[in-house]
Amino acid sequence: FSLKNILSFTYALTATFIWGTAFIAQDQGMEHIGPLTFNGARYFFGFLALIGLAIVLEKNAAQEFRKNSRKIISEIFSIGCFLFLASILQQYSLLYTGVANSAFFTIFYILFVPFIAFLFFSRTVHWSVWPAILTCLVGAYFLSNFSDATVRLGDSMVLLGALFWGFHIVFISRVIRIFDFPLCVSAIQCLIVAIFSMVFGFIFETVSLEGIGLEINEILYAGLLSSGLAFLLQIYAQRHISPSSIAVIFSLEGVFATIAAWVILEQILGFYQIIGCFLILVGVIIAQLTPLIFRSRT
């Protein structure tokens, strides 16, 4: 392993830990404000944290942007929209289901990635995806409480959001190939999500500075660390590690979230829910490691 690979692995693992623990802040940060307001404030703080660094450290970005501005705007706007849809569905899901459910259903995006890559870029889907999907579906059955319609609604929202997380990962790889300025890309996508969230927040929720102030600790954690630092680390990591390899690391997000929910919120999983979490994790790892093992043997 080269130094770049080791650093990229470290970036990815750190981002995964931040995302996993940020579920607690997301869950606890909606006592006085709605999901759209929380999302808007969170990503706005993420934008503020990144834009200053981008101006100082990526001075050549403006010059590169002028060379191909139309395509760059189109690509970054796309990942911003995917990020908005994924994050807001995840945020709403926490009103209806637990942290562990939301975290583990989120990692279904790793199964969606190969299909998105196939549909948009004609990349073949490895046979290992099919047993992985079956394993994850069995795990989902154990994890979700199908007798509770409210929980089913929350889990369904997370699954739909996972599809957009998949789009986000695939298209991030495209963006950094044509505009390799991670700070700028991260800052702009955060701004796009913040604008969309606040616009819809003013329409569907009661937005107040007082409410935001009461949730400021959770917003800052989710904004500065999860939206700002972690998404930046994701982009840096994907510069030197393939999406298939890095997805194995990202699958640990559910594990970190579950441990954090147990320690901080005392959300204890039942026996069948633990089996469900384990099966989903196994399914995700099967989908990612099997192609790598067969490729190395070849």
Residue-wise pLDDT tens digits, 161-218: 999 999 998 898 889 889 989 899 999 999 999 999 999 999 999 999 999 999 999 9
For residues 126-131, give the mean pLDDT. Answer: 76
CA distances from 29 to 33, 36, 92, 221 (A): 8, 11, 12, 10
**Using CA atoms, how far apart are residues 47 and 288, in angstroms rounded to an integer?**
32
Of the candidates 8, 144, 164, 14, the residue with the CA atom closest to the CA atom of residue 80: 164
Give per-residue pLDDT as tens, 93-108. Answer: 999 988 888 888 888 8
CA distances from 80 to 11, 126, 151, 187, 286 (A): 21, 28, 28, 10, 30
What is the Cα Rg of the chain in Å? 19
pTM value is 0.86
- Any idea what DSSP says for residue 265? I
φ, ψ dihedrals at 181, nearest 5°? -135, 85
One-character DSSP codes across 225-262: IIIIIIHHHHHHHHTTS-HHHHHHHHTTHHHHHHHHII
Q: Are 74 and 251 in contact (CB under 8 A)?
A: no
Cα of first residue to Cα of last residue in the chain, in angstroms, is 20
